[in-house]
Amino acid sequence: MKTLHILNGDATLFVFNQTTIAGDILVWREILSDGPVSKKNLWELRSDWIFKKFGETPANYQQKVIKEAEKLTHLDKYSETILWFEYDLTCQINLIYILSSINSMYKKDNCISLICPESIEGMPNFKGLGELNSTQLNKLLSQKIKLQKADLALATEAWDLYIDNNFEKISAFLTRDFGNLPLLKKAFKAHLLRFPNPSTQLNHIEKVLLDFTNSGISSKRELYDAFWAQERIYGLTDLQLDHILNQLKEKKLIAKELF
């Protein structure tokens, strides 16, 4: 039987296609850490939000996202499923959704493995798998970790908590043993910082952007580079940061003529 590789995006796919690693591929292209989520009608909700926020048409969303995600329903075709993901919040939220989906159809002979590096030797500013070369990806394959049923159950609980989005419940959850998913704990801690500060009504990301703006940074590229250097845990793209910056402008916290 074959192996299914679930990749965290097209940047990883580009490098993966240059390796000698055998198996079928599922490319995950959603950003479930940004925008609304729900237990029911998730794809309809996401498609509508992605269209309104980023202009992606429902037809393209169906082809690029939903059609790929449907491969999760055919895991019985594979002797092993290997997930290639990263340490940041964006990747970790996508990961727990996928693991919760796998958990709902899990059979004891399913082999689910995870490759999720937080750092790479010789790359002090490592951001993601798409930065690596084919040799490095081949090497990572030997470092995969086999996930247990308990790990899938933990991911399912984490996904349910993420949907519920209750600060106190998530805080309590962080006292748990995270088993083979230790980076999820770090990501959830970062997620808690996205809740608004009661005194300022700003979350951590907004405050950091404002602080950098007030420090004298004069270009958007410099601002975003500074943010990524300090807050890589969030895995935000420049497009996502654009939206946050625009919201700060609408609140008149940043002058519209800046950036």
Asked whether 90 and 31 are in contact (CB, 8 A), the reply is yes
CA dihedral over 233, 238, 239, 242, signed as positive or negative: positive
Instruction: Provide the pLDDT for residue 258.
Output: 66
Instruction: Provide the pLDDT for residue 128.
Output: 93
Same domain membership, residue 167 and residue 93: yes
Residue 166 lies in domain: 2-184
Q: Any idea what the Cα angle at residue 154 is, between residues 149 and 157, rounded to 5°?
A: 130
Query: What is the SS3 assignment for 221?
Result: helix
Instruction: Provide the pLDDT for residue 107.
Output: 81
Residue with tokens 């996502």: 240
Same domain membership, residue 240 and residue 139: no
Q: How many domains does the chain have?
A: 2
Same domain membership, residue 237 and residue 155: no
- The answer to the question of residue 134 being in a domain is yes
Threshold 0.75, pTM exceeds: yes
Instruction: Provide the pLDDT for residue 61.
Output: 97
CA dihedral over 136, 139, 141, 145, signed as positive or negative: negative
CA neighbours closer than 13 Å in the CB half-sphere of residue 242: 6
Same domain membership, residue 159 and residue 42: yes
Same domain membership, residue 236 and residue 123: no
pLDDT one-digit tens code per residue, 92-103: 999 999 999 999
Same domain membership, residue 131 and residue 42: yes
Low-confidence ranges of the chain (pLDDT < 70): 256-259
Single-letter code of the amino acid located at 172: A
Instruction: Provide the pLDDT for residue 177.
Output: 96
Same domain membership, residue 31 and residue 150: yes
Read off the tokens for 241. 């940061």
Single-letter code of the amino acid located at 55: G
Same domain membership, residue 227 and residue 113: no
pLDDT one-digit tens code per residue, 188-231: 999 999 999 999 999 999 999 999 999 988 789 999 999 999 99
Same domain membership, residue 152 and residue 242: no
| Nearest-angstrom CA–CA distance, 152 and 99 | 6
